[in-house]
């Protein structure tokens, strides 16, 4: 439905200069179901939701927040969203529209007491695993206030270096499975297109990618949760990962460590639990600045991991010094009303109820 709607809207604008919206496409659904009777075998709600998602994608494009929508592939992730009128939830079992039996769900976590789901999204990933995400209103209690602040310096050798001197290593999940992935991709490339063996080889490649993704996401969630629980104020750098991966020598390592996702988790968890996340200016020279006397070096190449301040003679570890400077800069921005992320008392979140996964 998403691809049909995208094709219909694109052709209408290209050939007739006509702009179609959700209501225009929804009015075509009765005739479309007559032409394709199998569309009536499923609930009409996910079909309509697909068109709404397409409408939102075009809205993001016209407002400059995204690129022009592209067609979806069968081999990639698939999803179906059910509104509140298209499923039954009795507190224990979930029955979707046009289904007689409840879904056999291995719950990731229990839903809040007396929760009233507003929507349910069923997702199938590229390895044919099925997940159910249930959206509910949940009042998240703030954690007790602690008198601790921390600055985080994100790196490759050590994923995170804290201003306390603690170093959190980089597991390098992609690098560990890179040889297995390359071997599976070579075998996939040699299979005949359209054959069953090629599809089996594709699944093997997809399972390796999913294994890397799940392990990285689990590691990021555990680390971000620990940092948020232990500190009241968290100061990080505003990194432009999209531009940083243009460096051909560091692109693979930067993508493997996952800075962007880690900072995103810190941001929403800080809002949930009443913490303050401060993002400092991306051009602040945290590595080149002496945390003792604030002297700034003219240059500091990446291969220099320790340096001596020419003004005060203090010996600095590059990453720990940068984390201390990030903390000081973040606290000053917090006091002066700088780049501080607001805290919300009540947050709306999706409670993922999935087997073997922790993402929503």
Catalytic residues: 153, 237, 319
Task: Give the closest residue to 118 by CA, choosing from 161, 89, 142, 146.
Answer: 89
Residue 189's alpha-carbon distances to 60, 127, 178, 186, 210, in angstroms, are 35, 18, 16, 5, 19
Cα angle: 275, vertex 281, 283; to 5 degrees: 150
Report d(CA 238, CA 279) in Å as an integer: 6
Task: Give the closest residue to 235 by CA, choosing from 146, 137, 338.
Answer: 338
| H or E element in which residue 244 lies | helix 241-244
Structure-token pair, residue 146: 């602690």
Q: Strands 149-154, 233-237: parallel, antiparallel or unpaired by DSSP?
A: parallel
40 — phi, psi (to 5°)?
A: -80, -5
* Percent composition of the chain: helix, strand, coil (DSSP 3-state, to 5): 40, 20, 40
């Amino acid at each position: 439905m998403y691809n049909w709607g995208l094709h219909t809207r694109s052709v209408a604008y290209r050939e007739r200069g006509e702009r179609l919206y959700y209501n225009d496409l929804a009015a075509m659904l009765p005739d479309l179901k007559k032409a394709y009777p199998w569309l009536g075998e499923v609930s009409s709600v996910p079909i309509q939701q697909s068109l709404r998602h397409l409408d939102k994608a075009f809205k993001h494009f016209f407002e400059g927040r995204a690129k022009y929508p592209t067609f979806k592939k069968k081999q990639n992730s698939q999803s179906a969203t059910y509104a509140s009128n298209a499923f039954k939830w009795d507190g224990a079992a979930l029955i979707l529209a046009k289904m007689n039996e409840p879904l056999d769900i291995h719950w990731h976590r229990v839903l809040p007491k007396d929760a009233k789901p507003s929507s349910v999204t069923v997702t199938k990933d590229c390895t044919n695993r099925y997940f159910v995400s249930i959206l509910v209103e949940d009042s998240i209690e703030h954690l007790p206030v602690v008198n601790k602040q921390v600055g985080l310096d994100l790196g490759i050798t050590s994923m995170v270096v804290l201003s306390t001197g603690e170093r959190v290593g980089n597991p390098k999940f992609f690098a560990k499975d890179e040889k297995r992935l390359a071997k599976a991709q070579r075998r996939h490339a040699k299979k005949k297109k359209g054959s069953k063996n090629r599809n089996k080889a594709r699944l093997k490649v997809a399972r390796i990618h999913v294994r890397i993704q799940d392990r990285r996401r689990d590691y990021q969630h555990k680390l971000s949760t620990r940092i948020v629980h232990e500190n009241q104020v968290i100061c990080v750098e505003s990194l432009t990962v999209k531009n940083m991966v243009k460096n051909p020598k560091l692109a693979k390592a930067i993508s493997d460590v996952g800075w962007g996702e880690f900072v995103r988790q810190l941001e929403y968890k800080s809002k949930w639990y009443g913490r303050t996340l401060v993002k400092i200016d991306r051009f602040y020279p945290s590595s080149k600045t002496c945390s003792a006397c604030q002297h700034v070096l003219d240059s500091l190449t990446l291969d220099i991991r320790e340096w001596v301040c020419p003004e005060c003679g203090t010996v600095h570890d590059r990453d720990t010094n940068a984390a201390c400077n990030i903390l000081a800069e973040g606290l000053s921005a917090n006091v002066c009303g700088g780049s501080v992320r607001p805290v919300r008392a009540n947050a709306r979140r999706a409670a993922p109820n999935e087997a073997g996964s922790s993402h929503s």
